[in-house]
Structure 1
């Protein structure tokens, strides 16, 4: 059972690790193609948030955001392979930050061809988030069971 658990974590985390590796290799002085894709979407987020927190209070640089994504996916994926809850947490942070911004299917009407592609990718990321939540839940339940077994029982007299 331990080997299959490890294999499952490796296969799951490979999505994030390989993606981070590709982004790292393409990362240049301008942030690479990922920064070019993120720049307009981060601009829209900045415009919508500026009404709430005020102008010039939010710094959003696509290159910095891509570097943060590389760190979250790469380091989180490696820690997840090792069975770390913190790695799962980092991957969850990445998914929560990026999924609604990158896969903005809600900005398209149902008849448009891009709608279904973005919706599919969005739901896939939601499923990844669910798998990470399941991992954390199972890990916590196993730890609780182990703690209950180790508790010394009072002796009857």
Structure 2
């Protein structure tokens, strides 16, 4: 059963590992294609946050955001495969930040083609989010194994 659990966690994080590996290989001086794709979406997200909350997010370099995402996905995946709840929390944090920015279906009308594509990707990533929450919940609900107490040695009758 332990091997099946390990294999399941490994297959689950393959999405994050492959994504981090691809972003790392394409990173370059400017952050690569991921930074070019993220910049307009991040600007639209910060504008939406400022309009709806009145709070302005600090200016951030795209290179730093992409590098942070690579580190969070890599470290979170490694720890998650080893069965750590902290790894799951890192992946949850990454999903919470990235999904809201990358899959901005809320910026499109419901009858547009982009809306349907982005909403589908958003819901798929929410399924990953839910699986991570499930893992954390199951990990925290399992009782810790207590070492068995050794019974005192039996005295020999003379």
Structures share a fold, TM > 0.5?
A: yes
**Cα distance between partner residues in 2 of 1:50 and 1:118:** 22
Aligned-partner SS, 1:27:
coil
C-alpha displacement of 1:61: 1.3
Gaps of 5+ in 2: 150-158
Which structure has the bigger radius of gyration?
2
Deviation per residue, 1:48-98 (Å, 9 max, x gap): 4456345xx712211110011101111111111111111000000000001
Moved more, 22-31 or 44-53: 44-53
Give the alignment's TM-score, normalised by structure 1: 0.86
- Residue 120 (structure 2) aligns with: 120
RMSD: 1.8
Deviation at 1:140, TM superposition (A): 0.5
- Where has structure 1 moved over 4 Å in runs of 4 or more? 149-152
Deviation at 1:47, TM superposition (A): 2.9
Q: How many residues align?
A: 147
Structure 1: 5+ residue stretches without partners: 153-157
Question: What is the CA distance between 1:42 and its match in structure 2?
Answer: 1.5
Q: Which is helix-richer, 1 or 2? A: 1
- Residue in 1 aligned with 2:32? 32
Which residue is 1:155 aligned to? none
Quote the residue 2:88 is aligned against: 88
Aligned mates of 1:45, 1:126 — CA distance in 2: 18
Gap change, CA 1:88 and 1:23, over 3 Å in 2? same
Partner residue of 1:13?
13
Distance 1:46 1:110 in 2: 22
Asked if the contact 2:41–2:104 (Cα under 8 Å) also holds between the matched residues in 1, the reply is no
Deviations 1:4-31 (A, max 9, x none): 1000000001100110010000001000
